[in-house]
Chains A and B, each alone.
Chain A
Amino acid sequence: MPARLPSLIIRPFMSKQTAAPPSAAKAEEQQSSTGAGVMDAPTDVDQEQLKRERDTAKEQQKDRLAGLSPDHLIELYRQMLLIRRFEEKSAEVYVAGKIGGFCHLYIGQEAVGVGAIAALRKDDYVLASYREHGLALAKGMSARSIMAELFGKVTGCSRGKGGSMHMFDKELGFLGGHAIVGGQIPLATGTAFASKYQGTDQVTLCFFGEAAVNQGAFHESLNMAQLWKLPCIYICENNQYGMGTSLARAMSLRDIAQKACAYEMAAEFVDGMDVLAVREATMRAVERARKDYLPTLLEIRTYRFMGHSMSDPGNYRTRAEIEKYQERDPIKLFSASLLEEKVVDEKALEEIDRKVREEVEDSLRFAEESPVPDPEELYTNVYANPIDPSRK
């Protein structure tokens, strides 16, 4: 089956291009954008254009609203807002020195995780990169267990041994945060393999950033998944930057969904700022996976509003660029659609925000008050079948 390549929903942020080698002029243009400290994004924002985009996005989202139950829509909104508030709090306590190590926030990308996971059943699997707090929340893990993990407490979802980048919940099918770029992609291919082997109809969602696409793990996995017909949905969250390196500086063929052609895999470009667009595209992919064990590559175009991690000053992109995407904020867009379609009123939205903030505060109290792991925990969980050297 040839890859499906529907038209782009959001304005491409990079020049549309083909797999053909770049012309000399193009190469030169790319060259000139690689100098230290050079901003490779436009510094000026066309306000008229931005407004038109916003309006178009809203009209498209409203079309998708039709027929969905208000409860479901409100739940999607609540989840997105919970992630936003949770991550804002994470940033705050990180700066206060209460969270150690790295901390990669999901702010700006909420519609991707919430929309995609909304298309799943509870027993489906999710695997993710190290930017996974939001995905863990969307899969149903409690804010308490995630915040406690960030605090390195024994009540955390990985008993304080994983931290920000390694959240797990076996019961809920959340199979980790993985911290080597692309490392989770073969793993997810394996859980999909196991579902097919065992004859279940569980599907696997595998989230990774666009920079992971340059890793061999991505290509090796997609090849096997299509070759063996494995029910894995590869979700490329294209937030346009691999740490501080823009896509234009790192990838020859930048329309990532097109790479599925190399494996005869189905693919779609999706607007990652529209939670309902993500949900719909994922539902199509889930159906293919559940019914026919077929994999799909979804390139979901999004933007992270914060730095790569908490220690990233972000001087590789312009304030104007960030502001432009903040105008396309997935939560703002969704609340506007919900209000205009009269699914909710302002008061109801305020009430959701109040409850979400309460939940986050509660998670913080829980994390603060929880005990650290017992020193004996240092040597537990290394082996499932430990071999006692003194047994003889």
Chain B
Amino acid sequence: MATITIREALNQALREELARDEKVFLMGEEVAEYDGAYKVTKGLLNEFGPKRVIDTPITELGFAGLGVGAAMAGLRPIVEFMTFNFSILATDQIINSAAKMLYMSGGQFNIPIVFRGPGGSAFQVSSQHSQALESWYAYFPGLKVVMPSTPADAKGLLKSSIRDDDPVIFIEQERMYGQKGEVPDDPDFTIPLGVADIKREGTDVTIVARSLMVPIALKAAETLEQQGVSCEVIDPRTIRPLDIDTIVESVKKTNRLVVAEESHPICGVNAEISAQIMERAFDHLDAPVKRVSGADVPMPYAKNLETLALPDVNRIVAAVREVAYLD
């Protein structure tokens, strides 16, 4: 086991999958000569050449659609969005082409493509460059949505996503690229899509968190441990399909649930998890499900306001204490 960053783990996954399958290619803005805007694709041009690692013009709708077309003709594209904010321009091709092609062609054209890049909040870049879009993509049948929170998950899930025969939205967290962790050395190490991971076991309250919220939830759990509350922290890792069974089993044990996310609260993934838990585990709940979400405002620039817009350890601690009726 080597200790590496999420950035390096993603880089390894890309390198190994490019080496493994000639049909895999990587395209996006600044992925080749510039080594990637966030250096996730560092060295790949050197190793695989310009046929396999391709710099695109700034033309998100165009290259997203080109990727889907290439997948229809037998290739396995990895399309990088410099950030997922720019994927908004490409949503027509992601939603109307990639997600629906298999269905509307009666099963003839599956689309093995990965759309990946950083998403979620970044550091003081204001409203257009700092937002979480997973609930958009998770809405659509036909797409799979993956959000890793550790280097090992990042590597194992990206490799599975590239090998998957369906379109996968793979959202990395812009603030987390430098986070370190242990990653298995086995080049065939993968993590299956659709399986949640229990990041910390506990007995009193379940916290479901993803992406940036996972380390924050773990810190909150540490604080709460000192206050005598045992928290179980679950990272779904895949938003669609959602491993609701693991969450239900945990709630049956703890009878209390807090869901944490950095995205806006309305129509979000937290709302979906809350609804499913009400349907599946209502009789096991000893308190209403508590949501902790990002503020319902566009992301501000000013440092103090930005901090206020994002959930933190204190808000998760307070939510857990609320569902445990401790205050």
Residues of A within 8 A of B (CB): 125, 127, 156-162, 166, 168-170, 175-176, 178-180, 183, 185-195, 197-198, 216-217, 220-221, 223-224, 227, 380-385, 387, 389-390, 392
Contacts and interface: CB of A to CB of B under 8 A. Distances in A.
8 contacts: A168-B108, A186-B66, A187-B72, A193-B75, A217-B61, A224-B62, A387-B193, A392-B243
Given A176-B109, A186-B65, 9 more contacts: A175-B69, A186-B69, A189-B65, A190-B67, A191-B70, A198-B73, A224-B57, A227-B57, A383-B102
A17 B195 CA distance: 61
A162 B72 contact: no
A192 B73 CA distance: 9
B194 interface: yes
A102 to B, nearest CB: 14
Nearest to B111: A384
A197 B50 CA distance: 11
Nearest to B52: A197
B93 interface: yes
Interface in B62-83: 62-75
Contacts, number: 162
Nearest to A186: B65
A178 to B, nearest CB: 7
Interface of B: 25, 51, 56-57, 59, 61-75, 92-93, 96-97, 101-110, 112, 141-142, 144, 164-166, 192-195, 238, 241, 243-246
Given A166-B105, A186-B61, A385 B166 contact: yes
Residue of B102, B141, B238 with most chain A CB atoms under a 10 A cut-off: B102
Contacts of A223: 57, 59, 62
Nearest to A163: B104
A384 B105 contact: no
Nearest to B75: A194
B73 A384 contact: no
A125 B144 CA distance: 28
Contacts of A198: 73-75
A389 B62 contact: no
Contact of B141 (A183, A216, A382): A382
Contact of A190 (B73, B103, B243): B73
Contacts of B244: 389
B70 A158 contact: no
A158 B108 contact: yes
Contact of B107 (A176, A186, A224, A380): A380
Given A158-B108, A390-B245, A193 B68 contact: no
Contact of A197 (B51, B96, B193, B241): B51
A220 B61 contact: yes
A191 B72 contact: yes
A195 B73 CA distance: 8
